[in-house]
Amino acid sequence: MAERVFVGRVGRPHGLDGSFFVEDPSTARERFAVGAELLVGGQSSTVVAARHARGRPVIKLDRPVERGSSLEVQASDLPAQADDSFYVFQLVGLSVVEDGGRELGRVADVSPGPANDVLELDTGHALPMVEDCVRSVDLGAGRIFVAPGFVEPG
């Protein structure tokens, strides 16, 4: 089964024509443009109307969908990233290891910050995604290597 990526959730209705607010929307506005393909409940749907209201996307799909349903796209449909850029779904679950071999935990989430993104680990540690901290990301090996000194020993 192909990997799917969450891009939003069906929110409350907007108007009477079947349109709805997109909750937790992707920042890629093209995901919600007229003609865009989304997966809802594993089935393909097409955006037939799109606008913004109160700064949030409002869309209508070519079929009725249940409120709370996830809006997804196929990972293979995402544009390729630059060598030093990654999608959040690629990082979640990776093991984080300090230079020297100390395991710090696994990536639970990546949070946006005012200056840089932050790796949130399942151990409660938070590491800044800056060059001084993150030495390398090896998707094939499932590891992120970080510099020592960003997590207290223990």
Residue 29 backbone dihedrals phi, psi, to 5 degrees: -60, -30
Contact between 45 and 63 (Cβ < 8 Å):
yes
List, for the chain, all residue ranges whose pLDDT scores fall below the cut of 50.
Answer: 1
12/3 Cα distance (integer angstroms): 27
Residue 1: the pLDDT is: 46
CA atoms within 13 A on the CB side of 95: 10
Cβ neighbours, 10 Å, residue 8: 22
Whether pTM > 0.75 for this model: the answer is no
Residue 11: the pLDDT is: 96
31/79 Cα distance (integer angstroms): 12
Q: Tokens at residue 57, please?
A: 């996307």
